[in-house]
Amino acid sequence: MGLLKESLKDFFQTKKDWISFAGVLLLFLIFWSYNYSSRFVPLFTQALKDNQIGLSLFYFLFFAAGALVIYPISLAVYGKLNEFKPSVPLILGFVTVLAIVCSARIRDSELFNWVPSASVGIAMLTVNYLGTILAYTALPLVWIILRKNSSDRFLGLNKSPKLEEVFFLLGLMLPVIAIASFSLSFLSVYPRFAGRMSDGYLIYPPALWIILFEISYAADFAVLETFFRGFMVFPLASRAGSKPAVLAMAFMYGLLHFTKPQFEALGSFFGGFILGMISYRTKSVYAGILIHIGIALAMELAATLQFLYFMD
């Protein structure tokens, strides 16, 4: 609990900090409300799912619009607007990676005719997660290679977390996940590894594929945390301070979830903000990695238990 408390105290030090957080939250709520009232992102995603170039362009413009709103505002609030122009290449890097992550998918099932028909769906999902891992890894790896003798070079990968604090924070989330698992919107998405029949029942693939999927799923969250709480925080924070960097990152992290269940997307803003401040305070991304993997696997397990034992 001490880590969470101290990390939040690092941010909320003055009245301006409270106002800036409230302003960014209000802005996010406007985007969030419009998206879920109009189904803006889901509709475009569905309409363009067979048009790889169109889908990539849509997500690039979507994240670019969000970045062009949030980064100038966050920097201006803390008197760092002059850092926006020098940061544009970095911000465009963020936007490009997010567009690739949301749009680049293998959709041709014929490429997987080497696996049994019951395993095609999970094989595609697993391979697509491996592609996402590569997308999240590329720019941070270039940063680490090129930024020799820089204090932000390793993006929080060179310091270990306080495990007792991590397990405490993870424990706080488990009751929330258990309650959420009774929601139909939750069960329409999780467990991710299972196929869904038209009547709502699940198709469970062979255990080997479930294991391979869960490994790739967990690895995806590890690189996601490194990207958001490391690459999107430390480089900008070293120039403009942690507060605008974390606020902007949390906003963009929330946008990433606009195809997920409504309240998962809302919670992602707060989760991104908290994990961003913890990352910056500890100079380590491992707390976020462990918490995120723990939550993700707990959601998989909770949904699986619902379908196996609690649903008629």
Q: Which residues pair with 203 in a beta bridge?
A: 195
pLDDT of residue 312: 57
Q: What is the pLDDT, as a whole number, of residue 173?
A: 85
DSSP-assigned states of every residue in 135-182: HHHHHHHHHHHH-TT-TTTTTT-SS---HHHHHHHHHHHHHHHHHHTT
Contact (Cβ atoms closer than 8 angstroms) between residue 247 and residue 228:
no
Other Cβ atoms within 10 Å of 10 Cβ, number: 16
Q: Is the pTM of this model over 0.95?
A: no
Q: What pLDDT is attached to residue 200?
A: 60
> pLDDT value at position 198?
63
Q: What is the mean pLDDT of each run of 10 residues along the chain (312 residues)?
A: 83 95 97 96 92 94 97 96 95 97 84 79 89 95 88 84 79 86 82 73 82 93 95 94 96 95 90 93 90 89 84 62
Q: What does the block give as tokens for 87?
A: 């940061």
Which of 288, 172, 182, 189 minimizes the C-alpha distance to 229? 288
Q: 119 Cβ partners below 8 Å, 6+ apart?
A: 205, 206, 209
C-beta of residue 126 within 8 angstroms of C-beta of residue 216: yes
